Each structure stands twice: as structure tokens, then as C-alpha cells.
Amino acid sequence: MIEVRGLTKQYGAVRAVDDLTFDVEPGKVTGFLGPNGAGKSTTMRMILGLDRPTAGRALVGGRPFARLAEPLHVAGALLDAQTVHPGRSGRDHLRVAARTHGIPVRRVDEVIDSVGLGPAARRRVRGYSLGMKQRLGIATALLGDPAVLLFDEPMNGLDLDGVRWIRRLVRDLADEGRTVLLSSHLMSEMEQTADHLVIIGAGRLIADASMQEVVRGEGARRQVRVRTPSLDQLAGALLRLGLRVHPTDDGDLLVEGATAETVGDVALEAGVAVHRLTEEHDSLEQVYLDLTGDSVQYRVSSAPALAGQVRR
């Protein structure tokens, strides 16, 4: 579990993180989203004790990370895959990390296997692709078998196979009961992977809610697509109920803000045949753009009681 309370970071005139409060719970993949410069990396660095907060605190497993006796056993992180010594092999990098943290060296070969680094592990990091460096960074994070994992843009530089591998990995880690905080700019990936979302903008909390609540919750736009041979008749019946309808180029009717149930019932009452009836929701990408767009009036939620809400 990660607990963030009133976390704030001021860099000169820039307030990079502004009174953030949220929890990252075990057994879930929590997506951490925000536009460039929103403060995600700064928040992760403060959680890991790499930056000192100007105010507030972050606890990992109930304690500040910097005060943990065996930090790699509690939390593992991939922040910047480029920071590995280029002259060492991946395997040596992991062996050094294992030795300095009291982790048995046999664990090194286990994590090499689990991230699929295989024979490349014996080559110098200098020759690694970005994707291989990402795998090595993830191997380092997993080394201490920690209950908490933070991954900052782990899909960067990975090919489709790599992206699918990360998706499975974070799912498995969460299913094992671990706490997983994952930042990514790939909205479609996030939509498939995360169970919960923490969205920030300009250092402030915009949403702290389940994926369902964000994309399908109150305030989310939804519409029903209906196909009928009696389009005018159904449109008329829906309009009489005060619903907004739009015909599409391919001959369907879009009904705004309605459920499939309502549209089906209206069609039945009007004696109109229905050949297709589908509820459509905004994609995470659309919701995210709405939430973080310049026009959005950011409203700050610092009280834990407001968790589970999406501020639109």
C-alpha cells in the first residue's frame, strides 16, 4: 500500500506537486495519468525518498521509504531505464544490486528469466535497445520480490510483444496481491490494464476512481447506437421523450445519454423492429482529454473522503 497525504513539491517558482492525497491499494493496477509536466515523476520520486517533499508525506508499507531497513524487499521501481552503468552486463548490474541489498545471487537468474532478458543478460548494457533496458529496469525492480511496484512509463520503447508482456506482468503482480502504480501515456494500454486511476494535472488531483467510474460513471458521456428499418418512426418516438438523436452516415441512429434498455423499450412500444442495439461509452482517451484539457477548471481534492470521485 502507498499512502500519499498532502504531498507538495516546490521547485523555485514551480509548484510541481500541489497538495496531493491518494492511496494506492494492493491487488490492483493503479494507473497514474497526467499531461507532460503534471508532476507524476516528481510524485514517484518523493514516494521513493529520492526527492524531499516541501510539505506532506508519502508512506510505503506504512513507513517513509527512506526509513525502510530493507527497501528493495518492500518496493521496487522502474523510473529511468537509462541510468544503468553502460559498461556492465545486465547480469552484473543485477548481481551488484543483489549483493548490496542482501538478496541471494540465485535470485538474479530468476528475474532475468522472468523478464525474458535471456542471453542478452551477459552482454554489456551499452549495446542494449531501449526495450532491453526497460526489461533490465523491471528485473531490478523485481529483484527483492517486493509487495509494492512503481513503474514510470514501462512501455517506452517496447514493441507490441513487449507491451503485451508488461500488460500481463502488471496484471499477474496485482493478482498476487501486490500494489502496482503504473504511469503511461498510452491511453488504450491503460484502459486495458489499470483497475483504478489517479489522474493529476498541474500537480493537483483531478480524479481518484476506478476505471469503471472514470469511463462509465456519472457524468461520463454515453450513447446508444440503434439500427432499425423504421428510422424515422423510432427517431420520432425518442424525440417525443426528450432524447437527442442523430442519424449516422451508415444508417444507424445515435441516441445521446440513453441506455440500451430505454431505447429497446421505446422501440417495442412504437412497434418498431430493432436489428442492432449497442451502448457506447467514451474511451479513456476522450475522458482523459476532457479532464485534463486547458478548459477544465481544476478542482482540488485533498480529503481522503473524496476518493472514488471523478472531478469533471
Ligand X SMILES: Nc1ncnc2c1ncn2[C@@H]1O[C@H](COP(=O)(O)OP(=O)(O)OP(=O)(O)O)[C@@H](O)[C@H]1O
Site residues for ligand X per CB under 6 A? 11, 14, 16, 34, 36-42
**Is residue 18 classed as helix, strand or coil in its secondary structure?**
strand
Neighbours of 136 (CB within 10 A): 26
**Is residue 266 classed as helix, strand or coil in its secondary structure?**
helix
Asked whether the beta carbons of 223 and 286 are under 8 A apart, the reply is no
Asked whether the beta carbons of 24 and 43 are under 8 A apart, the reply is no
Distance CA 253, CA 272 (A): 13
Distance CA 209, CA 207 (A): 6
Distance CA 251, CA 132 (A): 48
Asked whether the beta carbons of 169 and 149 are under 8 A apart, the reply is no
